[in-house]
Amino acid sequence: MKKIGIIGAMDVEVERLKADMTVTRQITKAQMHFCEGTLKNQPVVVVRSGIGKVNAAVCTQILVDEFGVDAVINTGIAGSLNAQIDIGDIVISTDVLHHDMDAVNFGYAPGQIPQMEVFSFAADEPMAELAEKVCHQVNPEIKVFRGRVVSGDQFISDRVTKDRITEQFHGFCTEMEGAAIAQAAYLNQIPFIVIRAISDKADDSASEDYPTFEKKAVEHSVRLVEGFLAAQA
């Protein structure tokens, strides 16, 4: 069986997964606590990376080097960039990019990492297809979308910034870790998907919506991850 690394940025995004798994090994590295074991009869390593892209990239590399994971799932919450995607809905990545990468003065397009062959990092298609199928089964009350996830080291909470990011990158949702995880997975040549439940609209209402809907969004994400693992086992 494939060993899957599951990364959430915050405790609330992974605490239920840790509680539901059978843990066989625990280590702390780079101030991150890694729990290895099984979840839904699937070998997994579950970890809270901390918020932001550097934390997420370091975490992914440890999963590869220390645990030899065969694939990575980034689970958590995000802000919607698409009017059709409501709070509580799920976005499964088709591809992921950095919306705050800016080397335009050197002739690169916004979001393009200099000297890197790809503009965005493509999610694993079989993993994404299975996640979409499972989401319809375990979260029938919400909508599930497949589309681009965009990441940056900023919480998007104003309409002007949201509109600029949406116009430039055509993302479905925005968050703060996925692109770093995707880039690390790409460099290590392992498959990945980003699964994000929507907690806010990434606009002027975001600061109010986020704490209200965080738990609801996390519940949908956890159901999907556990359902995905059960379908894999």
Catalytic residue (one of 13, 132, 203, 209): 13
Which residue has tokens 């409501």? 86
CA–CA distance, 15 with 54 (Å, rounded to integer): 21
- Is 13 catalytic? The answer is yes
Name 71's Cβ contacts closer than 8 Å, sequence gap at least 6: 2, 3, 4, 5, 124, 127, 190, 191, 192
Tokens read off for 5: 């690394």
Burial 39-64 (b: 16+ CB within 10 A, else e): bbebbbbbbbbbbbbebbbbbbebbb
Q: Which of 177, 200, 209, 226 is catalytic?
A: 200
Catalytic residues: 13, 200
